[in-house]
Each structure stands twice: as C-alpha cells, then as structure tokens.
Amino acid sequence: MNPLLAVLILLLIIGLVGWILLRIVRRRGEFSHSLGLGLIRIQLPKALDDSERQKITVNDVREKIAVMEQVYAQLSTIKESGLRAWLYGKPSFSFELAVPHIGQEVLFFLAVPRRHISSAEKLIQGVYPEASVERVSDYSIFHPQGSVSAAAAQPKNRFLPFKTFQTL
C-alpha cells in the first residue's frame, strides 16, 4: 500500500472521529447551556384606558415596535469567545409572556445566560426606564384553575419576516 494513501486515510479517520466528538460535545453543551440560564421578570406599567387608546396613532405603534426591535438586536449580539464559543456555539435566550397567578397582569420573562444577566437587565432598563426588572428563580404557568396554550410559527422563508412593522 502506498504510504501517502495510508496517511490520507488515517487523517480522514481522525478528522471524522474529531467531527463526531465535537458534535457530541456541542449537543451536551446546548443542554447544559439551557440549564444555565438566568430568569428576569419584566413588568411594564398599566395599560392605557379606553379614552387614551383611541388617541394612539399608527406611528405610535411603529415607535413601540421599533424600540422592541432594538432589544432583540442587542440580545442577538450576545456572544461567547474562545474555546466556549467553539465548543458550544452562540448562546441562546428566551423571551416569554406568562400569567404566573390567576388575576395578575401578563408578565414578561427573559431567560439569558447567567454570565450576561446584568447586561440584559441594563438593556431592558435603558430601553424601558419605567419597567420593573428583577431577577427571579423560576415561575410556574400551571395552576388548578388555569389553562396553558402555546403556538409556533413556521414562515415559508426563514430569512424573511412575516410582516414588517413599516408596512402597518
């Protein structure tokens, strides 16, 4: 057997084994990353009454959506570096709406990696200075008189939005 061919086959096998090991480590890393998220509860001020709601224009709605777009853009810039980024990939976050107890208002919960939780708190306070932001350990959406619902959207093209707020 040609020695060059043997070396190429050996390198191919080493590369394949390395790729498989990397996939296994990344999959385990994704699971451990999901368990390493910190939770922030965000409570915005009371909603407007009917007389104030009628005064809202389309431009007001566009401005509020644009502000939230900035929050998403800033959260998407959270990055890991070095070996952690190579092994585990980009960190994830979750933005949830929930009514944790019957009769309460809808609350927003933001789950981010614990390393970045203070940055996320500052981001929310910077964009929504009137919001109440605090760290919480957990919340439960399940209670005896309650119900649970969930939805997921699947766009035709994953790179294009459903509808942009500029076309409202």
Q: pLDDT tier at 88 (50, 70, 90 boundaries)?
A: low
Q: What is the pLDDT of residue 11?
A: 93
Ramachandran bin of 134, using left for φ above 0, alpha for ψ from -120 to 50, beta for the remaining angles: beta
For residue 145, give the 3-state DSSP assignment: coil
Q: Are strands 94-98 and 132-136 parallel, antiparallel or unpaired?
A: unpaired
Distance CA 55, CA 91 (A): 41
Q: Which of 113, 138, 117 is closest to 37 using CA atoms?
A: 113
Q: What's 24's DSSP letter?
A: H
Report residue 5 as tokens: 């061919």
What's the longest Cα–Cα distance across the chain?
A: 87
Q: pLDDT by residue (tens digit) across 139-160?
A: 766 667 767 777 776 667 666 6
Q: pLDDT tier at 14 (50, 70, 90 boundaries)?
A: very high
Distance CA 100, CA 36 (A): 22
Q: pLDDT by residue (tens digit) across 40-68?
A: 998 887 766 667 767 777 787 788 778 88
pTM above 0.85, yes or no: no
Report residue 19 as tokens: 């790729």
